[in-house]
Structure 1
Amino acid sequence: MRHDRRARRAVWIAVGVAAGAALLAAAGSPAGAEDEVDSVTIHLREYRFDPSEIRLTVGRDSELIVINNGTVPHEFVTEALQDLAVDVEIAGVRAETLGVAELEIPPKARAVVRFTPERAGEFSFACRALRPTDHHRQGMRGRLLIREP
């Protein structure tokens, strides 16, 4: 039963990403020149992000490579990506969409998120998974700092 719920959730996330692709088609891709991308790899382990602080720059193409090195599913939840053109790839499925609030990454899988920050600020990110325990309460959270150029 738990597997069915996870599968349904993954389908709904994929449907949401695909639906946003139509909105993004008119705006174009967020990715620019390959050599001009700020790339950060984030490792998810049981109850922590490594690194737990990420620094990016407004207007620079950015790439977050989120790797779940843990044994349970983890989430990457942040308000920083909610209103941006985003290119997301999870488990070999790629989609362009407008805004992403939450990514669920299965154990030993990875997600690649490409976007261009549009405003400076400090944003939190966290894992809101509740099984086998509340990951956020266990300390699985961090900061995304976006600064002006």
Structure 2
Amino acid sequence: MSRFIFACALTLASSLAQAGTAHTLAFGEPAPAEKATRTVEVRLKDIAFEPASLTVKAGETVRFVLINEGQLPHEFNLGDKAMHAEHQKQMIAMQGELFTAAVGEQGMGHGAMSGHDHGAGHGHGGGNTVLVMPGQRAELTWTFKASAPIEFACNVPGHYQAGMVGPLIIE
């Protein structure tokens, strides 16, 4: 598990350097849950999101409550197509650790990693991504800035390609 945490921390540092600043992206930034003006529940299924698309307003702070109803680990990641493509490469490099964490998580019977900054990994804990183990819940709160073509997606290897992605429209 410590190798997973270390790898996650290195990946986050690389991602943040590419983003330009620690937690601010062109389309917004993480926010504390108490700043949310709206709560949106998103169900993560094996291989789909419900709802399939989301709409927010520029300037709005949204608290996403994420519920993994599937049998597989899933993530909720906010980003543009290029960010998702880069994140997918990082996830492939760490898929063994992800599987080991998922197996250990199920054996423990609780969500020790769900919604946690488990080393900040590959965006997890960096604000725009949260990993949710099967049967667990997590939250992500985000303040949306200007309109930008972004998506919410699961970048666990193969999930994006199988259609676990949806448009997020910022009005």
TM-score range, shorter chain: 0.5 to 0.7
2:4 corresponds to = 9
Q: Over aligned residues, Cα RMSD in angstroms?
A: 3.5
Distance 1:14 1:106 in 2: 19
**SS at 2:63 equivalent:** strand
Query: Where has structure 1 moved over 2 Å in runs of 4 or more?
Result: 7-17, 29-34, 90-95, 98-103
Deviation at 1:77, TM superposition (A): 2.3
- Going from structure 1 to structure 2, the CA distance change for 1:63 and 1:32 (only over 3 Å counts) comes to closer
Bigger relative CO (Cα 8 Å, ≥ 6 apart): 2
Q: Which runs of 5+ in 2 are unaligned?
A: 17-21, 24-29, 84-112, 119-124
Distance 1:43 1:100 in 2: 19
Higher strand proportion (structure 1 or 2): 1
- Going from structure 1 to structure 2, the CA distance change for 1:92 and 1:62 (only over 3 Å counts) comes to closer
* Alignment partner of 1:46 is 2:46: yes
Aligned length: 122
- Going from structure 1 to structure 2, the CA distance change for 1:66 and 1:92 (only over 3 Å counts) comes to closer
- Going from structure 1 to structure 2, the CA distance change for 1:38 and 1:124 (only over 3 Å counts) comes to same
TM-score norm. by structure 2 comes to 0.55
Q: Give the % identical residues.
A: 24
1:1-149 → structure 2 map (5 Å cutoff): 4=1, 8-9=3-4, 13=8, 30-31=31-32, 37-79=37-79, 91=114, 93=116, 99-130=126-157, 134-147=158-171
Q: Which runs of 5+ in 1 are unaligned?
A: 83-89
TM-score norm. by structure 1 comes to 0.62
